Structure 1
């Protein structure tokens, strides 16, 4: 028996150490002085053969993650007898997997997971014929799975999950005779699942979060299968009962696909412990036989089309997770839910459930941690006894019926992290005892009720360091805003009756991400302490108050600010130049203030991410800088009701976002912040701190737009489609640039009350999405373009009080508008105007002219009639047959000839009379 390692292998290990930056000195004993440290077989992470002395194992995972950074030593291949190599969690700095590993033919187990490797997976790994365990998960490998992997016939465990692999899985890959565990989840793989029809040895198959298409494969030959995870693919078609022929199946996740079928297809899966069918197209009633799944611990049927009443789950006593949200369930919630003592998570939100929820529904739910009954018609009538819901931490009851009194049952709860009782028909004051329950609060939402009274000083009620979020909006709170907790993540007090100043902001610590104080009666100048939020604040809404004074320059150092709403106040002075530092701004709304000066050039130069710019109803003057056209993402532009002058820049055609038919999610701000709540899923877990879930407090994007003559707000989905330009009530002059017709997806265009002249662009009909067009009270001349008849969605039109002339083009849309859309154009004629083209006007003052383009037509028609008349006379004199035919025809058509000749010669006479 040998007691020391071989010298060349000792040098190889020292080179492994030399190529790694040992951040915490964990390998300090490798090669250090002393008799015990010279023998590499005694080094931490190294094991040698007792017979040969060769190094057979190298495992550096007994240390904390990311303790080492560097690269793999090429001398590693000198460890030719190595059977087990584990380099998980070492940061290899995006280097590729070195080819020399493929020559270590004695390797049986290779694990290099979460190690920041990239590049393709070497196909030469198939040379490791003794390999039975391979884990390269959680890296950045790209390219395809090497087809040579089918030659790894000894492989039993393979995990390539959480990489960037693409393409199809190699043919026959699923038939590896010894493969028991295959995890390819979270990649970019595609193709069908048909290659797995013969995977008789597989116990675990995880293909989640890829792009596999087609129907679910018949897995009935995979008789050993215990876990099947196909979550988040593109699978379609019906699910069949054959999946329940897998008698060993315990875990089935086919959520987030496009599958359909009925719940009855899964009743025969008697051994299932985990079933996820969420976000598909399953429909039908939920059978009462659900209770036969006695082993079920996790059930997620959310976001489908299940209808009818809820099943009775009293037979599923092992159930710990139940999600039936976003379906079409109706009727009462069965009281038998209160018997499932292991239940930790219950989500019944967004259904049509009704009836009364009493304490009987929670009788034995002593482990319930998460409860969501939001968006139903449920009425809560609770008289909670001590010991019921003692672990409840997340409570979501939005749009349930809790009022009119403030719910007293909350007092029976021990503590909670998340409480949402918004829109719950509460019209009461907040009792004093309630604020004492907020010491562990992370999020509170009591918005959209009729809660009244004044807020107390809240600084003493919050004792945790979790930066809570408070949403008290749309109630009847009044008085001065009191001192707030110093550590806040979000604060929404909008839509109340608060008054006074907002000096309390200067006592809030950095970390505030969202602040909405809009729609109150707040006044005074803004405090100049915004620098404290320079690295946190994302959304600031101060609209519709009585603020005055200049906008403080410190507001321009909110480097993370994405939305700034300050409309309907009394701010004065110029827009501070410091705002050019807010390069992430996407919403800027300063409408209806007393701001003045020129439109800053830096708006286009520095905050080019803007896609809503609203500066209307101020006192801005001067020419519009061409730099505005650099806002390529701009979707809403409102500069109306100012004193701007000069030409409209031709570069308006550069607003390319207004030429695209949709916007991606990256252009809509997700006004939310993340809070992490513990979430119990393990029925044996007492502390419930091993799982976290991302909770969001949503605050929707909005933009007020003058739409069809009326100001209205557009939020989230409506805002995605709204593309609007409003330059009305200014002093713009010159012609309307033709380039504006390149904005194919423009929905609203308002240029009214300016001094624009010239013709309306003939191809304005290219704006095929236009629904609202207002060119009124300008000096446009010439004919109304025929291309306007192509606008099928046009529902608001105002061309009044211009110098337009000629006939209104005939089209279903244009004749459908009221005459007021055309009034004030004295030379315009045709329906829906009363004077018809070619006839005297009603007041007899002046003949109504036709479009100038008809003049040549009438002259040519007159010459043609004269020539024809002479020809007919000649025929009458020299041809007796024609003479007979002509007078017979004249006898039958005399009325038509009379009207036609009189009308057209009358028009011709009026033309020449001029």
Structure 2
């Protein structure tokens, strides 16, 4: 036995490049080869990663390791920690490093070039990782020559085509990661030959077919001694013993097939993967029933994600579960209507999500004895009934709790101080908010909206000054003045107090919350002027809603400093005066896209990765359908809801809010004209100036607002014609010009005739379709506008038209009269 162990150690040292045993070797014994050094210099000419070190021995360069005796480059690791700042097609050069054993290229932009066939010449490779490198095209069959490869990671690229069957015959593979590509077709049957596979990740592709059976792996027997391979730059060893006769893939401990188009049932053979620790089959349309047979023998399972599948989970009440899960994700599975009692066997979970699972039961008392190491609990979007007990667990971390959108009721009496996020929205909780003063300063997210809470806000917000980023107390029965201590929330990015009964002025202390991006204080009883300091200090605001209050006074010009404003609602107040001309300076409403590159606060720290963990776009997409987040590149944007006067009705926007660029100052006492500068806001989607005392002509360049879908100018005193440029508003699907003093012909040949009479009634001098009132001789059709620049909405055409007509009249007049004059 001693000899056998000694042999294994020798093999491990040999593979690591150390050909001696127990002898210290000088790392500088042999310099790198000239040809290989030149190859690295050629690589450097593209990437510039070794600037200033060209004169040194390339074996001493960062990320380069050479054999200590031969000088050949055996390991190359290039990793770009930024977002694609290293760019260049360098992979074809790697074939000139024939002794490479370990290769890592991570986030090196390959500019969508395919994997070169020449890479197959690296027959000594043991570990190959080219992830996040913008590779495209199929996986070339030449890679079949990597007969000794143990680690293959081509994840997070744009690879397409089928998964080649030859990968199933690379029997030395220990880890295979092809996730986050565009691979399609079925999982090859040859994968049953990957007897020593420890990790398999095929998630986030376009794979179809059924989940493969795993019983076939047991038909091969092979004994392999201690082998070493490199995983992200770290050497790891795997000790293999002869394969047992028990069925299943004996080495597999991670299986991730999530976010594909796989269908059918989860095969019972998954329950034969005796060493399985990590199983993720979320979002692949699994059907049928998952029962005891899938779990009875999985003694080592610690991570289980079955989310977003239509199957039913049917575990018997007396099942003897032998594993202790650390992570349980079963969002949008069919677990109910009874509460899943098998969870009582799991006392070590840190993450539990059984949201939207059809549970309409009371939560049993034992459930609230939560594990000390809990990080995140989500039982939201069910119909869970009952009260919330005083959770007395002493948490080791600061967990996030989401109990939202259920039927919980009664007082909130939480005394556990250690919480990172708390969401109790959409229930029937009542009583006061005094419990908030017992929560410690680690709270980052608080949502108590849509309940029956009453009383005034506690004045202890200074305790959350370091962390709290989102505060939502909307749609309750809270009253009193908004406490000035909210101004201590220096990290606050979203403040929602809508639909309560708050009185007094908007507290000036909020000017200290300079990180605010979303402010909604609408539907309260706030009074006073619209504060000028909002424009002077809250420069990051994207959303400002003060609608349906008792605000008066004029619109402060300082609001024009809000260059990032995209959603602006001051409707249904008592504001008077002119619309400032500088409202045309809202730059974010003139630019395409959601202008918030720095928006980085997450809905749940632990759910989406959060500030202290790597961002996981896969998880972000999985949760974006339920939570108010917008996933893009390397961030999750919080986009909570807002009420928009949209196409004649009040509509609540949630996930789509980031797309809506809107101005609504309707139902006030504003007078004067619409400033022409408004037409600079070319990405504006909704504009509502209705029910004011505005007069004059509608700006003739309104056609510049080409993104406009909803326009309401009704119940004002506008006069003159409807501008011909309205014909350019091709996206317009709601129009209301009623109850004004407009006159003349409704422009023809456009979509303006598709609106019904209600869009134009109350303008006694308007004529033409769709109105019954006829006009005189028709004017030239609006389609002639295309002969001129459409940006000038046709006005230049009519100037030329009338000038031409005038010149023609003069020429014709003198042509006729000239014959009558004496010679």
The answer for the alignment partner of 1:199 in structure 2 is 97
2:520 equivalent among 585, 589, 595: 589
The answer for the alignment partner of 2:333 in structure 1 is 400
Is the 8 Å Cα contact of residues 32 and 58 (structure 2) preserved in structure 1? no
Is the 8 Å Cα contact of residues 628 and 654 (structure 2) preserved in structure 1? no
The answer for the alignment partner of 2:115 in structure 1 is 216
The answer for the alignment partner of 2:162 in structure 1 is 262
Counterpart CA distance in 2 for 1:526 and 1:150 is 65
1:761 equivalent among 680, 690, 699: 699
Asked if 1:144 corresponds to 2:74, the answer is no
Shift of residue 127, structure 1, vs aligned partner: 11
TM-score, with length taken from structure 2: 0.80
Is the 8 Å Cα contact of residues 506 and 527 (structure 1) preserved in structure 2? yes
Is the 8 Å Cα contact of residues 505 and 527 (structure 2) preserved in structure 1? yes
Deviations 1:809-850 (A, max 9, x none): 11331111111111111111111111111299xxxxxxxxxx
Is the 8 Å Cα contact of residues 158 and 182 (structure 1) preserved in structure 2? no
Distance 1:200 1:839, change over 3 A: closer
The answer for the alignment partner of 1:834 in structure 2 is 772
Counterpart CA distance in 2 for 1:225 and 1:433 is 53
Is the 8 Å Cα contact of residues 156 and 181 (structure 1) preserved in structure 2? no
Distance 1:812 1:268, change over 3 A: farther
1:480 equivalent among 404, 411, 415: 411
Deviations 1:325-358 (A, max 9, x none): 1111111001111111211111111111111111
The answer for the alignment partner of 2:534 in structure 1 is 603
3-state SS in 2 of match to 1:495:
coil
Asked if 1:823 corresponds to 2:720, the answer is no
3-state SS in 2 of match to 1:627:
helix
The answer for the alignment partner of 2:356 in structure 1 is 423
Deviations 1:785-824 (A, max 9, x none): 1111111111000111111111111133111111111111
The answer for the alignment partner of 1:688 in structure 2 is none
Structure 2 gaps, min length 5: 1-24, 65-69, 218-248, 630-638, 779-794
Asked if 1:750 corresponds to 2:683, the answer is no
Is the 8 Å Cα contact of residues 475 and 496 (structure 1) preserved in structure 2? yes
Distance 1:519 1:676, change over 3 A: closer
Shift of residue 709, structure 1, vs aligned partner: 1.8
Counterpart CA distance in 2 for 1:699 and 1:806 is 46
Shift of residue 693, structure 1, vs aligned partner: 9.4
The answer for the alignment partner of 1:287 in structure 2 is 188
Distance 1:128 1:269, change over 3 A: closer
Matching of residues 708-857 of structure 1 within 5 Å: 708-716=647-655, 718-838=656-776
Asked if 1:182 corresponds to 2:76, the answer is yes
Bigger shift: 265-274 or 352-361?
Answer: 265-274
RMSD across aligned positions (CA): 3.5
Counterpart CA distance in 1 for 2:660 and 2:607 is 34
Matching of residues 93-242 of structure 1 within 5 Å: 144-146=48-50, 155=58, 158-160=61-63, 178-186=72-80, 188-192=85-89, 193-213=91-111, 214-218=113-117, 219-242=119-142
Is the 8 Å Cα contact of residues 306 and 329 (structure 1) preserved in structure 2? yes
3-state SS in 1 of match to 2:401:
strand
Asked if 1:338 corresponds to 2:271, the answer is yes
Is the 8 Å Cα contact of residues 593 and 617 (structure 1) preserved in structure 2? yes
Shift of residue 220, structure 1, vs aligned partner: 1.4
Shift of residue 387, structure 1, vs aligned partner: 6.0
Deviations 1:419-452 (A, max 9, x none): 1000000001001111124443221100000011
Say how many residue pairs are matched.
707
Counterpart CA distance in 2 for 1:334 and 1:308 is 13
Q: Which has the higher contact order (CA 8 A, sep 6+)?
A: 2
Structure of greater Rg: 1
Is the 8 Å Cα contact of residues 487 and 510 (structure 2) preserved in structure 1? yes
3-state SS in 1 of match to 2:121:
coil
3-state SS in 2 of match to 1:180:
strand
The answer for the alignment partner of 1:521 in structure 2 is 452
Is the 8 Å Cα contact of residues 156 and 180 (structure 1) preserved in structure 2? no
The answer for the alignment partner of 2:257 in structure 1 is 324
Shift of residue 269, structure 1, vs aligned partner: 2.1
Distance 1:376 1:652, change over 3 A: same
3-state SS in 1 of match to 2:262:
strand
Asked if 1:352 corresponds to 2:285, the answer is yes
Distance 1:531 1:177, change over 3 A: same
Is the 8 Å Cα contact of residues 756 and 779 (structure 1) preserved in structure 2? yes
The answer for the alignment partner of 1:906 in structure 2 is none
The answer for the alignment partner of 1:880 in structure 2 is none
Is the 8 Å Cα contact of residues 562 and 669 (structure 1) preserved in structure 2? no
1:412 equivalent among 320, 331, 345: 345
Structure 1 gaps, min length 5: 1-82, 86-106, 110-125, 136-140, 162-175, 679-690, 841-850, 876-914
2:200 equivalent among 294, 299, 306: 299
The answer for the alignment partner of 1:66 in structure 2 is none
Matching of residues 364-379 of structure 1 within 5 Å: 364-379=297-312
Deviations 1:595-625 (A, max 9, x none): 0000111101111110000000001100111
Shift of residue 385, structure 1, vs aligned partner: 6.1
Matching of residues 691-702 of structure 1 within 5 Å: 699-700=628-629, 701-702=639-640
3-state SS in 1 of match to 2:263:
strand
Asked if 1:450 corresponds to 2:344, the answer is no
Deviations 1:527-574 (A, max 9, x none): 111111111111000001111111011111111110000111100000
Distance 1:151 1:509, change over 3 A: closer
The answer for the alignment partner of 2:645 in structure 1 is 706
Counterpart CA distance in 1 for 2:256 and 2:412 is 39
3-state SS in 2 of match to 1:322:
strand
